[in-house]
Structure 1
Amino acid sequence: MMFNFFAKRSDHPLADSKELKRIIAELHVDKPAKAVDEVSGWFDSLQHVENFRVDQFFDVLRQLDEAAQRHLLRVARDYLLAARLTKLEEERLWTRSYRYWGQVATLYRDCVERARLAPKSKGSDAFKASVPLALVRSQAARCNQLKWLAFRYGSADEDLWRSLGETYLLAEGAGNAQKAVPLYPARKGLCTVAQQYLHAIAFFASSMDSLMPVQIELADRLIAHFLPHFVLLPDCRPDSVYWVDAAAGTAPLRLARHPGVGRPGLRFFSPGTALPALEELLHRVERGEIPSDLNLGGEYAQRALLPVLRHLHLYWAKCPPQRRHTRHAVKTRMLVLFGFDDSYSLFSGAASRPGNDAGMDDWVVENVSLGGFRAQVGEVGSGRINIGALLAVQPEGGDNWMLGVARRFTRRDTDGASLGVQVLSRQALSIELRPRRRGFSAAVAIPGIWLQDRGEAGILRIVLPLAGFNVRETLEFSHQGKRRELIPMELEEAGAEYEIGCFREQAAT
């Protein structure tokens, strides 16, 4: 950004306080996307403005940013919750928000840089009291960029982590890293630059690539709620899990080994007391209680919140999950069918392969392990995949279909995306289950996919359609001329269109 440090009055329309007030008042109140676009356009116009005192420039930026906040929240809500968005509409909402947060982060940092280069000017002197707020908002905006990248399963580049690290160290050097200020007028509580950097690291450590976008938003809110429990220190502790070099601008790295000699930007991250606090909340939610002080940005049912809490419980542990099986690099093709209905038809045994090839995709597998595989997914295929989606897959040249579930999704810039798939069963069989009611079997059948090669003796794992599992309802089915009676034990997992239930088999009466 180019600035003119002379005392001439700027001819930019936003330099006129009355015009600024009118512009803010006339934002598209009923059209949040257009309002964000309008503010973003004004940000573009400020990038090469001349003759703007830094304190006045910051005040204009601050007011525009504050006016945009409620519109940004509605855009995010539409992106996460609106039904039947087209791919183009989804892309526009994502680009609009990600670009906004990048713009505003840069402009706030430019204010600080301009004051640093001319510390004795009147504008810099007047701006001095606002430096902590400018730094906190810049850091918070970068955190929002991390979240929006996670919504698309993209990875943050070095520039983003470098900006987070530089802002943290700049604030620390100026004694502002722990300076608590209100982030935005409508937001409760105080915020610091150090907290925002810690939030970014905790977000990274929480493995967002295995959550759905709405779940990522919930996880981000939970991180904010538990943020005082996390720890970021210059020294390594026994419970440290990650390390980061803020000066180098690198992403956090797992503490498999010590990073070596100490250096100014080296910091060590640990969950601190976050895990026991999370466990307490998890138990309360399991009992149907959602605390009133838990700000999730909206009302969410117990069913929506529990999977996110359980996910975070895994990744905030002192020993987070690690790969259990060795991966082996391969290059082979894989046929893929999507969803419960097609998988049920396939495993019914009625045909060796489905007749509806139009619903089938073709992937290139990059590596395999005992537990699953990772594949390259083209743009067409990636648009049909959600985390937790049920998949029927068959390796090229094979005659056996397997049942899997999409676990980790990473978008790539050049060749579509990369998807990690967990294999649920290599021997799946479609069955028809009937609830037992008052001594006889009900007439209406429930479709199920029996995972025959997984589970303990006497314990059956069965994939059911959504809401098909009822812990109070005994089921039965026939297999090889034998009637089998199942006592429900627990709901193991729930996806968007299916559930996996665990059942104990008992002798049929």
Structure 2
Amino acid sequence: MIRKLFTRRSEHPLADGKELARILAELRVETPAKAVEEVMSWFESLQHGDDFRVLQYFQLLRQLDEAAQPHLRRLARDYLNSGGGSALVEQRLWTASHAYWAAVAAQYATCIERARLDAKGSDAFKALLPLAVARVQAARCRQLKWQAYRYGPIDDFLWKELATTYLAAEAAGHAQQPMQLYPAQKALTSVAQQYLHANVFFSSSMDSLTPLQIELADRLIAYFLPGFVFSVDCRPDSVYWLDAASGSAPVRLARHPGAKRPGLRFLSPGTARQALDELIHLVERGDVPDDLNLGGQYPQRVLVPVLYHLRAHWAVRPPQRRHQRHVVKTRMNVLHGFEQSHAVFSGSRPPWAAESGSETWLVENVSLGGFRALFDDSSAQTLKLGELLCMQPEGGDNWLLGASRRVNRLAGERASLGIQVLSRRARSIDLRPRQSGFSAAVRIPGIWLHDSGEPGVLRIVLLTGGFNVQVPVEFSDDGQRHLLTPLELEESGGDYEIGRFRDQAIA
């Protein structure tokens, strides 16, 4: 519809300064979703403004893009805080944001291509070319993050565009040029840094994090990025390699890259791992550096698991599969959450009926450490990472306690969920706080992971907020009383947390 407002020559609304100012002013006060939709409509209209010179085209695109930024930040916050809300609303937020970054990347790429084809008429634009290229690269990085929110798969096209943009900027001599990407962003960046960020992001295994954790990890990567080393030579601490000439994603050095070639690059954590360890110590003491921008205030229990995750994946030897997988085709009955799991392991097995909240999942492979279940993509919308699961293999009478760890979208509108087995011999118990030499009357439900192997230490699953490092607890089992001294909070999930306790048998 918007094409009908102007002719192809000179009547485009954005060509009039007063009209442009009015449009930008209205965008500032519009609702976020509507504003982003309007900006995308103006992007579409620019594709038919053939009479714009490259510099004017870029300036219009730049102003529209900058007007959209605060609205995009609001949409992202709404998406990250939409857990447990409407799946339709969540889908709309995701689609609007992901589509915007794809559209604006294409617009900046068009601008750069116009400048290449009209070198003589683009002299005034040359000074702004590095900014245009950096914004293309940044938009591709945003696409990568939004695809990670939905657990992929990451488009091959995206990796090729990221690599092509990086190599072109390197050849032109401005890949390392620092610049302020947007007026509201104080930190400087460059095309090369954006490409490095994308590769560190991918190698940090985001498919085992929730969307909010992915956002925090992304901000932490930006904070630690100067410590990483991205080089043409393989260093002793290099962990990943990639071929920018072919547009490949990073690959662990466990697989050798072969002969040296121009596009080959190596990635190492450099000093980032040590700096991350220092931050972990600060956060565990309740401190957060003033220059660390996480986009909000987050409690220690939210931030620490993300820091631990990054520490594991930024090691010289990142986590590897410990147990061999075996292909199977079997079904598994599944119950969700702490309460239902506690009921099962207390001996009150629920009936398999719709009202019990049970489901039947198809398992495609197993290992000593867990399972991999398959779903159609529509069912994957409701899958949650970090959810406690109580599982019974079809035909069996034993119950397993597990947690969802990794989500991947597959080809053919399918998705898989990786499930870690927490215990094959879990047992429900009732804990009571022990204060001033006597046991309080407060009952704390727990699930004892009875097959944990550390002598003298018990791992117990509690409802969220149930672990208090300052309060000992006790329980009785087969006539034996146990006094538990809290050691540390090992993990926090959807509605549960796992605490480690020093065990002392008492009379």
Q: TM (normalized to structure 2)?
A: 0.95
Q: Is contact 1:337-1:393 (8 Å) kept?
A: yes
Equivalent position of 1:277 in the other structure: 275
Q: Which moved more, 1:350-359 or 1:430-439?
A: 350-359
1:40-86 Cα distance to aligned partner (Å, 9 max, x none):
11112223332121111111000000111111111101111246531
Counterpart code for 1:266: L
| SS of 1:27 mapped into structure 2 | helix
| SS of 1:137 mapped into structure 2 | helix
Q: Is contact 1:345-1:354 (8 Å) kept?
A: no
Query: Kindly, what percent of the aligned residue pairs are identical?
Result: 63
Matches within 5 A, 1:84-103: 85-103=85-103
Equivalent position of 1:105 in the other structure: 105
- Inter-partner Cα distance in structure 2 for 1:488 and 1:356: 38
* Aligned with residue 257 of structure 1, among 255, 258, 281: 255
Equivalent position of 1:62 in the other structure: 62
| SS of 2:27 mapped into structure 1 | coil
Residues 379 and 119 from structure 1, CA distance in 2 versus in 1: closer, same or farther, beyond 3 angstroms?
A: closer
Unpaired runs of 5+ in structure 1?
A: 1-7
| SS of 1:67 mapped into structure 2 | helix
* Aligned with residue 180 of structure 2, among 163, 179, 182: 182
Equivalent position of 1:3 in the other structure: none
**Is it true that 1:16 corresponds to 2:12 in the alignment?**
no
Equivalent position of 1:422 in the other structure: 420
Residues 423 and 353 from structure 1, CA distance in 2 versus in 1: closer, same or farther, beyond 3 angstroms?
A: farther
- Inter-partner Cα distance in structure 2 for 1:355 and 1:431: 26
Q: Is contact 2:462-2:496 (8 Å) kept?
A: yes
- Inter-partner Cα distance in structure 1 for 2:352 and 2:475: 24
Residues 476 and 354 from structure 1, CA distance in 2 versus in 1: closer, same or farther, beyond 3 angstroms?
A: farther
1:257-279 Cα distance to aligned partner (Å, 9 max, x none):
32111222111111111001111
1:199-230 Cα distance to aligned partner (Å, 9 max, x none):
00000111111111111111101111111111
1:382, distance to aligned residue in structure 2 (A): 2.8
Q: Is contact 1:455-1:461 (8 Å) kept?
A: no
1:468-499 Cα distance to aligned partner (Å, 9 max, x none):
11122222222223322222222111112111
* Aligned with residue 402 of structure 1, among 395, 400, 403: 400
| SS of 1:59 mapped into structure 2 | helix
Matches within 5 A, 1:201-216: 201-216=199-214
Matches within 5 A, 1:233-248: 233-248=231-246
- Inter-partner Cα distance in structure 2 for 1:400 and 1:390: 17
Q: Is contact 1:327-1:367 (8 Å) kept?
A: yes
Matches within 5 A, 1:76-475: 76-82=76-82, 85-121=85-121, 124-351=122-349, 358-379=356-377, 381-412=379-410, 414-475=412-473
Residues 390 and 75 from structure 1, CA distance in 2 versus in 1: closer, same or farther, beyond 3 angstroms?
A: same
- Inter-partner Cα distance in structure 1 for 2:93 and 2:413: 22
1:371-424 Cα distance to aligned partner (Å, 9 max, x none):
111111345643333211100111121111100011111123534421111100
Q: Which moved more, 1:363-372 or 1:418-427?
A: 363-372
1:6-35 Cα distance to aligned partner (Å, 9 max, x none):
xx9533222222222111111162511111
Cα RMSD for the two superposed structures? 1.7
- Inter-partner Cα distance in structure 1 for 2:290 and 2:426: 44
- Inter-partner Cα distance in structure 1 for 2:174 and 2:227: 21
1:267-323 Cα distance to aligned partner (Å, 9 max, x none):
111111100111111111111111111111122222221111111111111111111
1:110-147 Cα distance to aligned partner (Å, 9 max, x none):
111111112112xx111111110000000000000111
Q: Is contact 1:179-1:192 (8 Å) kept?
A: yes
Q: Is contact 1:402-1:423 (8 Å) kept?
A: yes
Unpaired runs of 5+ in structure 2?
A: 1-7
Residues 144 and 109 from structure 1, CA distance in 2 versus in 1: closer, same or farther, beyond 3 angstroms?
A: same
Q: Is contact 2:377-2:415 (8 Å) kept?
A: yes
| SS of 2:65 mapped into structure 1 | helix
- Inter-partner Cα distance in structure 2 for 1:433 and 1:270: 46
1:191, distance to aligned residue in structure 2 (A): 1.3
1:357, distance to aligned residue in structure 2 (A): 5.3
| SS of 1:405 mapped into structure 2 | strand
- Inter-partner Cα distance in structure 1 for 2:505 and 2:362: 45
Counterpart code for 2:402: G
| SS of 2:294 mapped into structure 1 | coil
- Inter-partner Cα distance in structure 1 for 2:246 and 2:124: 32
Equivalent position of 2:4 in the other structure: none
| SS of 2:180 mapped into structure 1 | coil
1:155, distance to aligned residue in structure 2 (A): 2.1
Q: Which moved more, 1:485-494 or 1:191-200?
A: 485-494
Counterpart code for 1:467: G
Counterpart code for 2:441: A
- Inter-partner Cα distance in structure 2 for 1:358 and 1:378: 22
- Inter-partner Cα distance in structure 2 for 1:111 and 1:445: 66
Q: Is contact 1:436-1:476 (8 Å) kept?
A: yes
